[in-house]
Amino acid sequence: MSVLVEVCIDSLESLPIAQAAGAGRIELCSSLATGGLTASAGYMKQAARISNIPVYGIIRPREGDFLYSSDDVEIMLEDIHTARRAGLNGVVIGALNADGTIAQDAVSEMIKAAGDLGITFHRAIDHCSAPFDALEFLMANDVERVLTSGLAKSANLGIETLKEMVSFTQGRLSIMPGAGVSPDNAKLIVESTGAHEIHLSGKTTRSSLMAYRNEKATMGNSDSDFDITVTNPDVIQRTINALR
């Protein structure tokens, strides 16, 4: 069985690294440290230009929960149009109601805005109070796949639910395990669940090339502004080899 490995990245630098390591698809994000936020228009456009594999852009306007205001939804709709204009292959979407059910109206608007782009529903499913009802809705609306940890902290811990999801969907959409996936557990997750795709970042850090450094000043919550997050090709390659 062939298993597609999707790699999530938050810099253009990581795209050719992931691609050369054998990634089958890219999830394009900014700020992986907050779970992944929408990439800028310029970032989307450059990624589409240099990639030889499909690129799906996450549409997530802020960190935190998936309960979005009408203004948030308008931002996401505009970002979906931006992804289309940039030449991306798909978008990664999700929204919930306050009671944890899928926000059908908002998600329907996003699906309509996506047009002929591919669609992944993201890990909002893992915060959903009725995940199998959500899967029914997504299948009825021709969503391609759902990225999920099986409602657990990691995909490895959510194996039983992931297996249920794969059985429930019967190939009408793809269940793509993600969260905590590594070369050490990818094969177990795939073989135990029957999934045909898997998702990871495989990230590491590299040192900044700055010669001058003022270590006293830092941006945000970072301990250092001189550690740059990038994809680790060794992790991606070892994951792919494990799945073979």
pLDDT at 235: 97
Entry pTM: 0.95
- pLDDT at residue 142 is higher than 90: yes
Q: pLDDT band at residue 70, thresholds of 50, 70 and 90?
A: very high
The b/e string for 46-67 (b: 16+ C-beta within 10 A; e otherwise) is: ebbeebebbbbbbbbbeeeebb
Strands across the sheet with 25-28, in order?
Answer: 174-177, 145-148, 118-121, 90-93, 55-58, 25-28, 4-9, 197-200
Positive or negative, the Cα torsion across 71, 121, 34, 236? negative
Dihedral class, residue 78 (left if φ above 0, else alpha if ψ from -120 to 50, else beta): alpha
pLDDT in tens, 5-61: 999 999 999 999 999 999 999 999 999 999 999 999 999 999 999 999 999 999 999
pLDDT at 1: 63
**For 4-243, which CATH class?**
alpha beta
pLDDT in tens, 180-230: 999 999 999 999 999 999 999 999 999 999 899 888 877 776 778 888 899
pLDDT at 225: 85
Please state the separation of Cα 240 from the chain's center in Å: 18
